[in-house]
Chain A
């Protein structure tokens, strides 16, 4: 298999290229400002039309998401699936997670599910993770915990290692920094009564909410990520099965050959492969997994940089699926949506913010600028309240919606744009493991 991860470049060269890009952007912006009289009316008109389209698209996108997430929620409320509990294997890969691994394994032993086993795999940790895992080895009231240790080879390979040692028809892949709620598995399993469902994604929530960054991420998970997954689940084609909780039909994993090790977003890559095989992927809001979010800005940037580049690597790998699919039409649509969300949308958002402010100030349309800001803030607030109420979440997160679009998302979008540029020119990257605080 051809590797998607390119040959590393010197970090200094990386830095120089990044600085060159930003200097170019600044110079172009300044030139456009000082020679604004020379900028033709046609160009300005085209930009205004683009901006208006952006605003229209933004509002339309939110209405579509809210409508389909509502339909999915209503569908689940009417779900009268017979409760049958197949045997389940839970795979817990861990690399240097000594701070959190015991809390994670303890939460798995508290699951209210009759038949399951836990397979914990240490990926060559050097901080005593394996020793802490070993304390859980054995039988716990009918739940068998197996602990394995292998040489460091990355998360995807560690998950494959665990899956090979499991024996259940349903496999749960989780992160060692996550905590599942006791009924999560019971709710997720009901979707597998449909034989075409290959995987179910859980509802990931942020557990550490004690500073502005973690609270903004908590809101982002509810409003930004879960709302989208809920809307996609109406079409049974969720596009990312997140690391903290992915529940798979073994047949689906085997059909796609397990996790690939050639991207930095093994979860997205796996999701695309499963969709491409024609399986359905849905979302269960009551299958809740808590995860520890990065607590500092630079760590958030590190995480999002990896996500962005990983998704692009997976998209590049699966580009043939953009035009054709062995499954349904939903696979190409899902991939195009990811391109839009990952590449087009962040750039448009930055551009729209800058351009709108620039035009408004240049032509003295300050009232328009204030109206635009108020409208979007009000829309964000309403959507945040809607998403929070749907998930029966903490309403105190709603005011953070004011900072969400004009502050937080803007920072994330800048990272996404840089990550995209670096991926396109093939700069090297590493996994970039986050330091855990042990909040779970």
Chain B
């Protein structure tokens, strides 16, 4: 059986480019989702004028 190396290599190139592009787009959206779910920093909350206080300072009696 004779292998057509040019066709095999062309297929590898095609698949790798397409897979890379899919990976790139998917990674970008994964990044956006991660950022959207990230808790805001104190500085960002301050900038938006909504400083949230989760805990109150413990005062020993």
Contact = CB atoms under 8 A, between A and B. Distances in A.
Indicate whether A and B interact.
Answer: yes
A19 B25 CA distance: 10
Contacts of B28: 18, 301, 414-415, 418
Interface string B7-35: 10110011011101101110111111111
B15 to A, nearest CB: 10
A410 B20 contact: yes
Interface string B42-61: 11101010000000000000
Given A298-B27, A360-B10, A430-B44, 18 more contacts: A12-B36, A14-B36, A15-B32, A15-B36, A18-B28, A22-B29, A305-B31, A353-B17, A354-B17, A354-B21, A357-B17, A369-B10, A370-B13, A406-B16, A410-B17, A414-B28, A415-B28, A432-B35
13 contacts: A12-B36, A14-B36, A15-B29, A22-B25, A152-B42, A361-B10, A366-B7, A367-B6, A369-B13, A411-B27, A430-B41, A430-B44, A432-B35
Nearest to B18: A357
Contacts of B42: 126, 152
A357 B17 CA distance: 8
Interface of A: 8, 11-12, 14-15, 18-19, 22, 124, 126, 152, 154, 297-298, 301-302, 305, 350, 353-354, 357, 360-361, 366-367, 369-370, 373, 406-407, 410-411, 413-415, 418, 430, 432-433
Nearest to B23: A411
Contacts of A19: 29
Contact of B14 (A15, A154, A361): A361
Interface of B: 6-7, 9-10, 13-14, 16-18, 20-21, 23-25, 27-36, 41-44, 46, 48
Contact of A407 (B16, B29, B44): B16
Contacts of B25: 22, 414
A370 B21 contact: no
A360 B24 CA distance: 22
Contacts of B33: 15
Given A301-B27, A410-B21, A415-B24, A366 B36 contact: no
Contacts of A124: 43
Contacts of B24: 410-411, 413-415
Contacts, number: 87
B60 to A, nearest CB: 24
Contacts of A366: 6-7, 10
Contacts of B29: 15, 18-19, 22
Identify the 6 closest CB pairs spanning chains A and B, nearest first: A414-B24, A366-B10, A11-B36, A411-B24, A152-B43, A301-B31
A433 B29 CA distance: 18
B38 to A, nearest CB: 8
Contacts of A360: 10, 14
Contact of A357 (B7, B13, B31, B34): B13
Given A301-B27, A301-B28, A414-B21, A370 B36 contact: no
Nearest to A415: B28
A369 B6 CA distance: 9
A297 B27 contact: yes
A370 B16 contact: no
Contacts of B6: 366-367, 370
A14 B32 contact: yes
A78 to B, nearest CB: 43
Contacts of A430: 35, 41, 44
Contact of B35 (A126, A302, A373): A302
Nearest to A365: B10
B10, B30, B41: which has the most chain A beta carbons within 10 Å?
A: B10
Contacts of B23: 411
A369 B14 contact: yes
Given A360-B10, A366-B6, A18 B32 contact: yes
A411 B29 CA distance: 12
B9 A407 contact: no
A152 B44 CA distance: 10
Given A301-B31, A414-B25, A407 B13 contact: no
A93 to B, nearest CB: 14
A370 B12 CA distance: 10
B27 A302 contact: no
A19 B26 CA distance: 11
B6, B14, B31, B44: which has the most chain A beta carbons within 10 Å?
A: B31
B27 A373 contact: no
